[in-house]
Amino acid sequence: MPVETAVRPVRILVAKVGLDGHDRGVKVVARALRDAGYEVIYTGLRQTPEMVVDAALQEDAQVIGLSIHSGAHMTLFPAVVQELKRRKATDIVVFGGGIIPEDDIAALKKKGVAELFTPGTPLQDIVDWLRKRFPKGA
Amino acid sequence: MKVRARDPKEAWKEEFESGPTRDDGIETSTISGIPLKPLYTTADLPRREEEMPGSYPYTRGIHPGGYRGRLWTMRQFSGFATAEETNKRYKYLLANGQTGLSVAFDMPTLMGQDSDAPTSRGEIGHCGVAIDSLADMETLFEGIPLGEITTSMTINSPAAILLCMYIAVAEKQGVPASALGGTLQNDILKEFIAQKEFIFPPEPSMRLVVDSIEYCAKEVPKWNTISISGYHIREAGSTAAQELAFTLADGMAYVDACIERGMRIDDFASRLSFFFDAHIDFFEEIAKFRAARRIWARWMRERYGAQDERSLKLRFHTQTAGVSLTAQQPELNIARTALEALAAVLGGTQSLHTNAMDEVLALPTDKSSRLALRTQQLLAYETGVANTIDPLGGSYFVEALTDEMERQAEVYFKRIEELGGVIPAIEASFFQKEIADAAFIYQQELEQKRRLMVGVNEFTVDDEEPMEILRIDPKLEGEQVARVREVRRTRDNARCSKSLADLRKAAEGTENLMPYILESVRAYATEGEIMNTLIDVFGIYTEKAVI
């Protein structure tokens, strides 16, 4: 039994926020993170920022991964960060992915989204980023 | 030296096997994983009677004249921001030689809610045009004669409402419904399977689809009542064979539902149309299109006993593959799209959308959308590929691959039947899992560089110039919200409320809902109000979240 590491795997809540139902990306990323040893919880579709934060708190997640392909990222990603502030849960790290133009990435980072991954990102890049961010987690 | 006695096939085999082999680790199967031989010969040709275009089973095309008779319709999917902005884009595309319209709606419209609903925040006008009521639809088609143009509308759960809005705009232009031509996507099954823009549970969703098919058979006879779509299934990650099989299985499920309603096959089958993806694996796509026609014709004749030849002919629209485009070195997307469009044309498509190079970043600009349209014009008028009907017919390889696609589809039809049909298979997450598995396998192949995407996992550049993209003005959200509120304030609210009450009553019964929806639309009931009335009766569907 691997008992020498008492470190619990990092728990990641992945969510489709907004009205968009395109879930290919979120599912592929969720599987890859699970294969990399993370505990992954997928919310399913059409989550509001409030629902996402509720679920993250309930599941005791350290990370929230958001996916959007409909162009609503400038409204909905910051809304999740705001909701975390309101619920005093700013220790939860938010990252996102989807069809997000270059200029928007800088703006979203300023608004508290830790990292953004665009189409064509190797899955390994996402895993590497998480490892750096949580060196003690899975 | 003895030369003469050798069998040429054997000789080739020997030489091939003793020759050099590329050892770059790149897969030689199709992008969907169908193993390919290095060479196909007469030995791979199927033994069957010669197939001809315009004749059963239509493998070589539904028209005897192919594109000699008529070119495909160049139909660019387009819509953004407000009805006014999109109306300008339509006029621009028509002025540049586009031959049909195709409306892209924004997320709130696709999900049947008004712009002032709380969950519409941030979504208005972003991935299509915002339509809340007949007033917006009037603006969208202002100055465009609906009797002379055909229009395709990509809308599903609220499809009946948008069709009624179109009919109502035509009435105002003095064009009778019987003169209208176009296509309604109206394919709810693939929403449950892949794109996930469902609202009602499957059963009432199917009722609305059948209501619209039944209504149009009488009142809007030139309208394609449904566009049974593989596109979204493929874009969600399926293989070519899954796209083919799931789409045709959906088609048969609609046919079953219409027959159950009491309709005769030949009264509606000729208005069913299809919509496929043209992905980057060139020959596999051509084989898929050819197989689709053959399978559909056979099932319509043998299983459903269709007599009218038009019922047997699978007509389809094609869009080049959005998922094949890359945000990296986006100019490459022009080349990808051109090749995909060529496959669609060689596969005999009836209409075509070519993606713009910047669609992987945002909605296309005026310039990039014109370039995409020009790509089709170049294919049609410069390359000469439209001069010969089914030019790849008889190719050892293409014929063998066509048969293989057909075989794989038939295996899936059996599995779906064993699961109890399309809707039980949806509820068991069968399609969803198959698609997610295929998507994951493909992603792993990319990660392991067993497949390459130029500019993404190979041939990359470090410094990319940013591209000019279309920006949606954030101000328009407030303006659209104000517009829908103005409509609610100025309409005849007594007429509107009555129409919605009548609709609700009809929804509780079994009547065809189309006349009731049309009346609500004419009374300027908003899309959200009509949908909410139906949600009260039908309920809402939530899917199991499976990874």
pLDDT in tens, B434-481: 999 999 999 999 999 999 999 999 999 998 888 888 888 889 999 999
Strands (E), chain A: 11-16, 39-42, 63-68, 93-98, 115-117
- Asked if A45 lies within 8 A of B196 by C-beta distance, the reply is yes
pLDDT averaged over every residue in chain A: 92
Residue of A nearest to B80 (CA): A71
pLDDT for A50 equals 97
pLDDT for B3 equals 56
Residue percentage of chain A with pLDDT more than 90: 83
Is the confidence at residue B366, as pLDDT, over 70?
A: yes
**Interface membership of A125 toward B (CB under 8 Å):** no
How far is residue B326's CA from residue B343's CA, in Å, rounded to a whole number?
A: 19
How far is residue B202's CA from residue B256's CA, in Å, rounded to a whole number?
A: 14
**Interface membership of B438 toward A (CB under 8 Å):** no
**Interface membership of A15 toward B (CB under 8 Å):** no
Domains, in order of start, for chain B: 66-447 (3.20.20.240), 477-538 (no CATH)
B413-426 burial: b if 16+ Cβ within 10 Å, else e? beebeebeebbebb
Query: B224 or B3, which is more confident?
Result: B224
- Asked if B197 lies within 8 A of A21 by C-beta distance, the reply is yes
Is the confidence at residue B18, as pLDDT, over 90?
A: yes
- Asked if A22 lies within 8 A of B196 by C-beta distance, the reply is yes
Which residues of A fall within a CB distance of 8 Å from B111?
19
> Which residues, 6+ apart, have CB-to-CB distance to B484 below 8 Å?
B114, B115, B116, B132, B133, B526
Region B264-281 average pLDDT: 97
Report ipTM (2 d.p.): 0.89
pLDDT averaged over every residue in chain B: 96
- Asked if B547 lies within 8 A of A70 by C-beta distance, the reply is no
Region A44-68 average pLDDT: 97
- The per-residue pLDDT for range B55-75, each reduced to its tens digit, is 999 999 999 999 999 999 999
Region B163-191 average pLDDT: 97
Is the confidence at residue B348, as pLDDT, over 50?
A: yes
pLDDT band at B1 (very low <50, low <70, confident <90, very high): low
- The per-residue pLDDT for range B286-326, each reduced to its tens digit, is 999 999 999 999 999 999 999 999 999 999 999 999 999 99
Region B25-52 average pLDDT: 95
Region B477-506 average pLDDT: 98
How far is residue B384's CA from residue B81's CA, in Å, rounded to a whole number?
A: 38
CA distances from A100 to A97, B6, B333 (A): 7, 61, 17
Region B149-171 average pLDDT: 97
pLDDT for B496 equals 98
- Asked if A76 lies within 8 A of B122 by C-beta distance, the reply is yes
Token duo for residue B407? 């075989």
**pTM, entire model:** 0.95
Is the confidence at residue B368, as pLDDT, over 80?
A: yes
Which residues of B fall within a CB distance of 8 Å from A72?
107, 121-123, 126
Which residues of B fall within a CB distance of 8 Å from A70?
107, 123, 126-127
Query: B484 or B543, which is more confident?
Result: B484
Cβ burial of B256 (10 Å; 0-12, 13-18, 19+) is: middle
With CA atoms as reference, report the closest residue to B421 among B233, B250, B199.
B250
Region B485-507 average pLDDT: 98
pLDDT for A1 equals 47
Which residues of A fall within a CB distance of 8 Å from B236?
22-24
- The per-residue pLDDT for range A115-135, each reduced to its tens digit, is 999 988 999 999 999 999 999
pLDDT for B468 equals 87
Residue of B nearest to A40 (CA): B547
CA B138 centroid distance within chain: 25
The amino acid at residue B17 is E
**Interface membership of B196 toward A (CB under 8 Å):** yes
Region A86-111 average pLDDT: 95
pLDDT band at A36 (very low <50, low <70, confident <90, very high): very high
Task: Provide the chain A residues 33-72 that lie in CB contact (below 8 A) with chain B.
Answer: 34, 40, 42-46, 48, 69-72
Cβ burial of B495 (10 Å; 0-12, 13-18, 19+) is: middle
pLDDT for B456 equals 94
Domains, in order of start, for chain A: 11-130 (3.40.50.280)
**Interface membership of B481 toward A (CB under 8 Å):** no
Region B15-23 average pLDDT: 94
Is the confidence at residue A3, as pLDDT, over 80?
A: no
Is the confidence at residue B406, as pLDDT, over 60?
A: yes
SS3 annotation, B346-415:
HCCCCEEECCCCCCCCCCCCHHHHHHHHHHHHHHHHCCCHHHCCCCCCCCHHHHHHHHHHHHHHHHHHHH
pLDDT for B98 equals 84
Is the confidence at residue B46, as pLDDT, over 90?
A: no
Residue percentage of chain B with pLDDT more than 70: 99
- The per-residue pLDDT for range B76-113, each reduced to its tens digit, is 899 989 999 999 999 998 999 888 899 999 999 999 99
Residue percentage of chain B with pLDDT more than 90: 91
Region B400-419 average pLDDT: 98
Token duo for residue A10? 């990092």
Is the confidence at residue A7, as pLDDT, over 70?
A: no
How far is residue B152's CA from residue B28's CA, in Å, rounded to a whole number?
A: 38
Task: Provide the chain A residues 20-39 that lie in CB contact (below 8 A) with chain B.
Answer: 20-24, 27-28, 30-32, 34
CA B487 centroid distance within chain: 32
Is the confidence at residue B505, as pLDDT, over 70?
A: yes
